Amino acid sequence: MMTKSQVLKWLEATAAVIEENRQYLTDLDSPIGDADHGTNMDRGFKKIVSKLPGVEEEDIGAILKTSGMALITSVGGAGGPLYGTLLMDAGKAVAGKDELSDDDLVALLDAGLKGVIRIGKTNLEDKTMVDALYPAIEALKEAVADGKDTVEALHLMTEAAHEGMKATIPMLARKGRASYLGERSIGHQDPGATSSYLLLKTLMETVESNPPA
């Protein structure tokens, strides 16, 4: 289960984690992208945090949709539309809800992933954020179906996201700016997969450290 308070804390904590890792994400982006992923994500999540006081009384779906729109309107390049769509589509999947069951959490993240795939026209092993998100959400689905509790299920999700992130290193990029580099994209960890891992890891840590009252 996940409460509205936890969702708000997750978004705030993600903004802090992205700020902390801004240079790291930019350094990952430098050899295979525009060297702006960390800066862009930091700007976008700061914008989300600035919007949260105005939506604290709204339902979880509305909070996520507002957050997604904040990213789309404040972040250039591919990151804004991709992450913005992830949060907006996630919000649509849980419209009207003030509390999420584990099945709702699966539906939320699955809808976000499908939005990313739709907007980015990406598949697994294209060396993108999908390579972290897809195995993570599959692991979460399996854990929830097996009756794991929320925190354990989120731990398994995070481990799968980490493995997916690391798996991008030997991949040949087939999408985005990195794809222009051809063979030279091999050997670099994808920055989008990395920020996706941080997003999911922060979700797990938020739920674990802020149990429902």
Is residue 121 over pLDDT 90? yes
Of 93-107, 112-126, 165-179, 198-212, the poorest mean pLDDT is in 165-179
Name all domains of the chain by residue range, CATH numbers in brackets. Answer: 2-209 (1.25.40.340)
According to the model, what pLDDT value does residue 78 have? 83
* Average pLDDT across the chain, whole number: 95
In this prediction, residue 213 has a pLDDT band, given cuts at 50, 70 and 90, of: low
Residues 7-41 pLDDT 10s = 999 999 999 999 999 999 999 999 988 889 999 99
Neighbours of 124 (CB within 10 A): 15
Task: Give the 3-state secondary structure of residue 2.
Answer: strand
d(CA 99, CA 199): 20
Instruction: Tell me the residue type at 75.
Output: V
- Bigger pLDDT: 166 or 180? 166
What does the pLDDT average to over 109-130? Answer: 96
Find where tokens 């994400």 sit: 25
In this prediction, residue 180 has a pLDDT band, given cuts at 50, 70 and 90, of: confident
According to the model, what pLDDT value does residue 45 have? 98
Are the CB atoms for 153 and 143 separated by under 8 Å?
A: yes
Is residue 159 over pLDDT 90? yes
According to the model, what pLDDT value does residue 179 have? 77
What does the pLDDT average to over 123-136? Answer: 96
Is residue 160 over pLDDT 90? yes
According to the model, what pLDDT value does residue 211 have? 82
- Which residues lie below 8 Å from residue 156, measured CB to CB, with a gap of 6+? 139, 140, 142, 143, 148
Neighbours of 142 (CB within 10 A): 15
